[in-house]
Structures are given as C-alpha cells and as structure tokens.
Amino acid sequence: MNADSNVLLLPLCFFGLYMILEAADWGLCLAAPLVSRNNDENRAILGLLKPGLDGNELWYFLGFFMMGAAVPEAMKNLSQTGSLALIVFIVAGALLRLAACVARNAFGRPVVMKLMSLFSLVALVVMGLTGSSFLMRDGSVFSVLGIFCALWIVLAAFQLGTLYGAVKVVNPLGERFRAAFLVSSVLTVVVYIILAILLKNHAGDSNMYGSFFWISLVATAILFVIAFFFTRMRHVGAGLAAVYLSSFFAIAIYLSAYAAVIPQVFPVEVESLKNAMDGMPGTALLVVAFVWTLGAFIWRMCRRKEVYEWKDHI
C-alpha cells in the first residue's frame, strides 16, 4: 500500500462507518411495503427507526469533507455528476426517517410507506452510481461497475434492514422480515461476487489487493453462510451479528478498491488535506461523533422488541 493510499484510509473508513451504521434504516424503509400488511405493522416498522437522531450522517460528511481536500479533482468530477443530489438524499433521508419515527400515525399509511420505500431505493442507487464515479477518470456514473455498486448497496441495506426487523419486532411481522432476508440472500450473494470481481479487475495488480482481497472475500462468504443458516434455524440474533461481521469485510473490499484506484486516477494532495484538518476541531468532533453514534447503535441492538396488536386473524 503506497503513501497516497494510506492518506485515503481515514475518509474511506468514515464512509464505511456510515454504510454499516445507517444501512439498516435504509433497508427497513425499503422492505416495509413488502412485509407489512396493515397500518399497525407500518407503525411498528417506523418504531424501529428510533432514536432517529443517531448522528450517523456525521461520518459521511466528515469523509466527504476529507475526500474533497485530499482529491479535489475527483470531487470536481463528482460535482458534475450529482454530488448535490447525493447530499440532498443523505440529509433528506435522515430528516424523513426522524419525522417518520416521531409521527408514526401520519407516516404509517400505506401510500406514505411506499413513497418512503421508493425514496430509499432512489437514494441508494444514486449513492452507488455516484460513488463509483470516483473510480473513473472521466467521472462516468453509468458503467457496469456503477450499476453493480448500486445493486449491491440496495441489496445489502435490504438484508440488514430485514434481519434487524426480524430481531426487533414481534411476529408475524418479524417472521415476514426473516423470510424476506432468506429469499433475497441468493441474489445478494450473486451480485456481490460479480461486484468483487469487477473491483478486483479495476484495481489491477495493486499490492493492497493481493492476499487481503481473497482473505476478506472468503471471510465475507463464510460469515454470510453462517448468517443464513442461523436465520433459517430462527436464531435471528446470531444471524444479525454474523451479517454485520460479513458486511464489515464486504465493505472493506469495496472501499479498499477506492484506496487502490483513486491514487492511480487522480493526484492525492496530502498537504491540502493536512491544512483542511488543521482548520477544523478534529479530535473533539471525532469524540462527539463516536460517542453519539456508538451509543445510538448499542441502544438499538439492546432495545426491546417493537410490539403491536395483530388483528388480521380476527
């Protein structure tokens, strides 16, 4: 791994933190119209979005700020292909989910849930497409790599969201979440294998994509298989833990391609990044973001199940 790749590791880790921490919320909104059968179940799903103010977006914007300082040419390409739309989707998604978990009666209507699902789908597709443009010298958004990036991000969020729902809401909605995870698993695996191969080819003979790629890919596959069988046997809590671990390795492969390819495509301005970091309250901001987001994540993992009254059997 060369020095320029090392410089990019911190902002890429910030992007990875956002993807890991926020994926379940995007996935819950995506899956809601597919698993919910009435307004009570819609409100139960919206309750899973609590606490709403989780601070995860801070990691995304820290990464965005640092990438802009370190690789300004890449950011110019990104700005031409939808950086404003990307920021709008990130902010609007956070505000929409906050409003939804506060005003569950208003947002629990089927038409509103479908609109939230459509918004989440479009937002995740935009993230995948615009993110892949970092890897293109001409800033191209619509490429085979970009399409599979978008597909994987949508499916990965759907998988985390459905499995979190299976763990944190009572049956029968929880059982439908579990079934949605199992049904979508094969497609997710196929898409990710294709994406991993595309990323490997795109990275070329980079040293950082040698043994690390294969170790991470094997770890991703093994952990996902473990998650599938745990979930199939209805040990959904263990399945969720395995999926998070699998997602960690999958995202590591994904973002490592960026660290390998970006210095080959764009000049990395180390001094510019240092100057930008000197002008911001780095340590204090990072500590606040870490405590805030970690606290919200732990609360969500330990919270009680969302309970609702199922009336459809009457």
Instruction: Give the torsion through C-alpha atoms of 145, 181, 87, 16, to 10 deg.
Output: -70
What per-residue confidence (pLDDT) applies to 286?
79
What per-residue confidence (pLDDT) applies to 31?
96
Task: Tell me the β-bridge partners of 306.
Answer: 169
Mean pLDDT of 220-240: 95
What per-residue confidence (pLDDT) applies to 265?
78
Assess whether pLDDT exceeds 50 at residue 121. Answer: yes
Assess whether pLDDT exceeds 60 at residue 289. Answer: yes
Rounded to the nearest integer, the mean pLDDT of the chain is 87
**DSSP 8-class letter at 169:** B
Six token digits for residue 15: 């992007």
Q: What percent of the chain has pLDDT over 70?
A: 89
What per-residue confidence (pLDDT) applies to 314?
46
What per-residue confidence (pLDDT) applies to 229?
96
What per-residue confidence (pLDDT) applies to 280?
62
32 φ/ψ angles, rounded to the nearest 5 degrees: -50, -50
For 235-256, write each residue's pLDDT tens digit: 999 999 999 999 999 998 888 8
pLDDT bin (cut points 50, 70, 90) of residue 82 is low
For 12-28, write each residue's pLDDT tens digit: 889 999 999 999 999 99
Name which of 144, 158, 213 is nearest 187 in CA terms: 158
Mean pLDDT of 18-47: 94
What per-residue confidence (pLDDT) applies to 188?
93
Cα separation, 265 vs 277, in Å, equals: 23
Instruction: Give the torsion through C-alpha atoms of 128, 129, 132, 133, to 10 deg.
Output: -150
Assess whether pLDDT exceeds 60 at residue 1. Answer: no
For 196-205, write each residue's pLDDT tens digit: 888 888 776 6
Assess whether pLDDT exceeds 60 at residue 81. Answer: no
Cα separation, 269 vs 192, in Å, equals: 32
**Residue 200, CB half-sphere, CA atoms under 13 Å: how many?**
14
pLDDT bin (cut points 50, 70, 90) of residue 30 is very high
Six token digits for residue 300: 């969500």
Mean pLDDT of 134-139: 72
Task: Tell me the β-bridge partners of 169.
Answer: 306
Cα separation, 195 vs 76, in Å, equals: 25
What per-residue confidence (pLDDT) applies to 109?
93
Assess whether pLDDT exceeds 50 at residue 74. Answer: yes
What per-residue confidence (pLDDT) applies to 25?
96
Q: What percent of the chain has pLDDT over 90?
A: 55
> Which of 313 and 65 is assigned the larger pLDDT?
65
Side chain identity at residue 249, one-letter code: F
Cα separation, 20 vs 251, in Å, equals: 8
Cα separation, 167 vs 261, in Å, equals: 38
Q: Which domains does the chain have, with CATH numbers?
A: 3-268+289-302 (1.20.1630.10)
> Which of 314 and 241 is assigned the larger pLDDT?
241
pTM of the model: 0.91
3 state SS of 269: coil
